Structure 1
Amino acid sequence: MFDKYLIDAASLRNTGPEGAPTGFAFEAKLGYYRGLGLSMIEKLDVSIDGETLPRDAVRFDEGEGALSLDEMETAYERRWPFGAAATILVAHPGGFPQGEHELGMLQQLRVSYLPFPAVNTDTKTVSVSR
């Protein structure tokens, strides 16, 4: 429904020491028209040029502190409100690759009244300044 709004391409940045990044981060929005508890986010994949990065490299922060995807499974008291940007942090030695690349994101959500998971995807051509 809101797939084209998942990734905020302008927010992409490298993280870690200047000149020796250890990862990258970007802002993302929920692809569902209502907020959800973090424990209802079953999958949050990040990819570069179609290659999905390891699950344990991805962390999520809706403003209450970064969580691993495993920690999100039991974060029952935390929510991702509709329209609110969350920071997706990815451990990736060297940071985001130099030049233009496809940044992709897949969200698989457990919605109480759907008999199947809601899956939202977005891909943007992005680059990060060094």
Structure 2
Amino acid sequence: MFDKYLIDAATVHNTGPVDAPTGFSFQAKLGYYRGLGLSMIEELNVGIDGEVLPRAAIRFDEGPGPLTLDEMETAFDRRWAFGTPATILVDLPGGFPAGEHTLTLQQKLRVSYLPFPSFNNDEKTVKVA
């Protein structure tokens, strides 16, 4: 339902030194209408042009500081509120590739009253200046 709002394409930018980026980041929103504890976010898959980036390269920050996806599994005291942007940070030598590319985000969420995981997907064409 909220899938088309997951990625904020205007926020994609490279991180690290300007002349030698070490990765990129972008703002994202949760695809579930009630918010969730971070431990209930089972996966955040980020891809560029159909290639899914390694899980170990992704970090998440809803405000207090970045966590790896493994650290999120036990972050019982942190929550991602609906409508609140969080920063997805990706380690990628060279940063986001020059030119237009397709950025994808898939969220796999564990919702307490659903007997199956909720998958939310967004795809945007983005270009980093």
Query: Which TM bucket (shorter chain)?
Result: over 0.9
List aligned pairs for 1:30-49, cutoff 5 A.
Answer: 30-49=30-49
Q: Within 5 Å, which residues of 2 pair with 1:1-130?
A: 1-129=1-129
The alpha carbon displacement at 1:114 in A equals 0.4
Whole-angstrom distance in 2 between the partners of 1:88 and 1:107: 12
The structure 1 segments of at least 4 consecutive aligned residues displaced by more than 2 Å after TM superposition are none
* 2:45 alignment partner, SS class: strand
Shift of 1:51: 0.5
Corresponding letter in the other structure for 1:84:
T
The Cα of 1:61 is off from its aligned counterpart by 0.1
Residue correspondences, number: 129
TM-score normalised by length of structure 1: 0.99
One-letter amino acid matched to 2:70? D
C-alpha separation between the residues in 2 aligned to 1:61 and 1:45? 15
3-state DSSP of counterpart to 1:8? strand
**Which letter maps to 1:123?**
E
| Shift of residue 18, structure 1, vs aligned partner | 1.2
Identical amino acids, percent of aligned pairs: 73
TM-score (norm 2): 0.99
Give, in whole Å, the separation in 2 of the partners of 1:44 and 1:64: 18
CA distance in 1, matches of 2:19, 2:3: 33
Deviation by residue 1:1-57 (Cα, 9 ceiling, x = unmatched): 100000000000000001110000000000000110000000100000010000000
CA deviation vs aligned residue, 1:100-123 (integer Å, no higher than 9, x gap):
000000000000000100000000
Residue 98 of structure 1 aligns to a residue in which SS? coil
Structure 1, unpaired ranges of 5+: none
| AA matched with 2:13 | R
Find the aligned partners of 2:119 and 2:45 in 1 and give their Cα distance: 11
Mapped to 2, the partners of 1:121 and 1:71 lie a distance apart of 22
Residues 61-103 of structure 1 show CA distances to partners (whole Å, capped at 9, x for unaligned) of 0001000000000000000000000000000000000000000
Q: Where do 5+ consecutive residues of structure 2 fail to align?
A: none
